[in-house]
Amino acid sequence: MSHENYKDFCTNTYGKLFVEYYSFLKRDAIQRSKNQELSETKIDELSAISKKKAIMNTTIIAIKEYPGIEPALLWKSIYEAHVHRKSGIDDSTIIENVISADQSWKKSNGHAFKGIIKTLGNEALSSKKISMVLQKDLSSMLRENVLSNEVRDLSWLKEQANSSIFDLYAIVEDERKKYCFGCIQSKTSIRDRVTRDKEPSINAMKAFFGAL
């Protein structure tokens, strides 16, 4: 089979399989509900199941159909077919530009959010001799021996700074000496805060640092 046709093959196969899976699942769901109208939540669930099955089986079929084509190229074609089905966009350049812009936003907004927390936090805490610093700021303070924490604490802080676990750190000034006393997560995602951030926060508190 001609290599030039693999993109069309992936697009057509994905579209066909998705419709087949979705139609079957929807018909079955309607029968089970005794012909009652399906909720939007149920429809979304059926669509998600159909999408996953269509992606998986299209990939398997395409790999067998085009053994001379890199699987990564087949995967990309299926991805573009999926994006087209969801958005109506079939120009791969436009798709790539949108993805690039979205990735750029995700990267930039994380840095910006940390900066917002630092700026507003420092404004609110300025009269308390407490400040918030970014991870890179903490690394500089550790490198320049600015902090007066115990050796054990400094060692622990270096580990945290090197592993990029926490986003910001709380610093207090007492008698012209600076101490780091708290570790801060500034995630907007509740899921991250209660799953991925949970263990590091517990470890911070066990090391006698406040965690937020």
Helix, strand or coil for residue 53?
helix
**pLDDT tens digits for range 179-207:** 999 888 876 555 555 556 567 777 777 77
- Select the more confidently predicted residue: 113 or 204: 113
Task: Supply the pLDDT for residue 1.
Answer: 46
Give mean pLDDT, residues 81-90: 81
Q: Considering all CA atoms of the chain, what is the largest pairwise distance in Å, rounded to the nearest integer?
A: 78
Single-letter code of the amino acid located at 13: T
User: Does position 50 have pLDDT exceeding 80, yes or no?
Assistant: yes
Domain ranges of the chain: 3-90, 109-211
Over range 44-62, report the average pLDDT: 93
Q: Which amino acid is at 102?
A: D
* Tokens coding 85: 């089905």
CA torsion, ordered 141, 142, 147, 153, to nearest 10 deg: 150
What integer best gives the mean pLDDT of the chain? 85
Q: Mind listing the pLDDT tens digit for each residue in 8-17?
A: 999 999 999 9
